[in-house]
Chain A
Amino acid sequence: MSRDTALVSADWAEKNLDTPGIVFVEVDEDTSAYDGGHIPGAVKIDWKTDLQDPVRRDFVNQEQFSALLSAKGISNDDTVILYGGNNNWFAAYAFWYFKLYGHESVKLIDGGRKKWELDARVYTKDVPARAATSYEAKAPDLSIRAFRDEVVEAIGVKNLVDVRSPDEFAGRLLAPAHLPQEQSQRAGHIPTAISVPWSKAANEDGTFKSDADLAKIYGDAGLDGSKDTIAYCRIGERSSHTWFVLKELLGQENVKNYDGSWTEYGSLIGVPIALGDEPGKA
């Protein structure tokens, strides 16, 4: 795994809009962004209605993922190029799904929609017509997905990386600051987690920092390269961004995303919680 296999530039994307075998996919939570204009030829995936189970709190299973990609006209041997808003949070989340379900070739556009917008590159409102395929997702690769019991057992043992903002980590805010703060779960963080906000990994225009800068950021924050790592945030999409950095850009082994994240952990009965700016004790 490296920058070359996992990331493309906006320039590269623009030059390959019509290349056969490449499918551009915009992933957003608020899909009105796509509807108002998107990269020419890109199909849309709605983070909520396409990627989450409509009833249970879980994401789509193997069959649902196969059906989704078949309907979108994506084949197992296509190279999928993902991008989206929110500094690629949801595109990174989708990237993690594609990996979880064993898609061979998937990459992110560095900087996502934001870089595209700031570069004043062209958008279209035309929705492409792609013939349906028979996509077959593989069995989920659970080596990249963490569940709650594993997270509790990781306290004081593995690297836990909290990628929310410092105020959410400390317990001063319960949600990202563009959302109302009334929430059901308790405030704080998982004891022994280090605080490395996802934004540390990105430049202001949404592109990722250099590998050397990234390695220094996580090293300085206390990430122990000899241990397994679990990243979490509030609902698992910002931590997908950090999972992408650690696993795909820096090539670390054994990095998992805890998609239950704080909305699950902060609602569990009896688990330890740390308050304040320090990681806290196990």
Chain B
Amino acid sequence: MTIPTAAANIAAGCAAPDQSAPLPASVDLQKETVITGRVSTAEGEAVGGAYVRLLDSSGEFTAEVVTSPEGVFRFFAAPGSWTLRALSRFGNGELAVTADRGINDVALSVATA
């Protein structure tokens, strides 16, 4: 996998950039609220290819990304209450997050119902 440059990472499109790439240098952490983390199974195995959605405080869909092979995901949100929800071949998981400006690092585990 090629690591995109900062420019490619914030290109005009809407698709999610490579989730495991380092934060582009142009991202200003004084302004951005980054919610990032890793999806894993109950046994602690990273889950790549999981679909992680960010839901707002009313439960409405805000964004979705696919985790990197290392299970990593990342959102650029705003300070406040959010819910993360993951779907994968290995089951689903959910987590409430209260985010502040800067980097908010969380762990999200999935399990079959």
Q: Is the CB of A30 within 8 A of B78?
A: no
Q: Which of B2, B11, B64, B66 contacts A48 (CB 8 A)?
A: B11
Q: Please measure, in the bound complex, the distance between the C-alpha atom of A181 and the C-alpha atom of B75, giving whole angstroms.
A: 10
Indicate if A129 sits at the interface (CB-CB under 8 A). no
Interface size of A by CB at 8 A reads: 40
Q: Is the CB of B10 within 8 A of A30?
A: no
Secondary structure of the A side of the interface? loop
Q: Is the CB of A179 within 8 A of B60?
A: no
Q: Which B residue's beta carbon lies closest to that of A237? A: B14
Q: Is the CB of A178 within 8 A of B18?
A: no
Q: Which of B15, B18, B56, B88 contacts A165 (CB 8 A)?
A: B56
Residues in A neighbouring B10, C-beta threshold 8 A: 179-180
Q: Is the CB of B60 within 8 A of A177?
A: no
Q: Which of B12, B66, B74, B87 contacts A263 (CB 8 A)?
A: B12
Indicate if A14 sits at the interface (CB-CB under 8 A). no
Q: Which of A48, A181, A263 contacts B31 (CB 8 A)?
A: A181
* Chain B interface category by residue count: 35 or more
Q: Is the CB of A166 within 8 A of B60?
A: yes
Indicate if A282 sits at the interface (CB-CB under 8 A). no
Report if A167-B62 is in contact (Cβ < 8 Å); known contacts: A204-B87, A205-B87.
yes
Q: Which A residue's beta carbon lies closest to that of B10? A: A180
Report if A165-B63 is in contact (Cβ < 8 Å); known contacts: A29-B13, A118-B89, A238-B14.
yes
Q: Which of B12, B24, B26, B74 contacts A178 (CB 8 A)?
A: B74
Secondary structure of the B side of the interface? loop
Q: Please measure, in the bound complex, the distance between the C-alpha atom of A48 and the C-alpha atom of B17, giving whole angstroms.
A: 13
Q: Which B residue's beta carbon lies closest to that of A166? A: B60
Residue-wise, chain A 158-177 has the 8 Å CB interface mask toward B (1 for contact) of 00000001110000110111
Q: Please measure, in the bound complex, the distance between the C-alpha atom of A235 and the C-alpha atom of B32, giving whole angstroms.
A: 21
Q: Please measure, in the bound complex, the distance between the C-alpha atom of A85 and the C-alpha atom of B13, giving whole angstroms.
A: 13
Residues in A neighbouring B78, C-beta threshold 8 A: 167, 172-173, 181
Q: Is the CB of A197 within 8 A of B12?
A: no
Within 8 A of A (CB), among B71-97: 74-78, 85, 87-89
Q: Is the CB of A89 within 8 A of B14?
A: yes
Q: Which B residue's beta carbon lies closest to that of A172? A: B78
Q: Is the CB of B14 within 8 A of A166?
A: no
Tell me the B residues contacting A by CB distance below 8 Å: 1-2, 10-18, 24, 26-28, 31-32, 49, 51, 53-54, 56, 58, 60-66, 74-78, 85, 87-89
**Nearest 9 A-B pairs (CB), nearest first?**
A29-B15, A199-B61, A177-B63, A178-B16, A29-B13, A178-B63, A165-B62, A177-B62, A177-B75
Tell me the A residues contacting B by CB distance below 8 Å: 28-30, 32-33, 36, 47-48, 85-87, 89-90, 114, 117-118, 120, 165-167, 172-173, 175-182, 197, 199, 204-205, 233-235, 237-238, 263
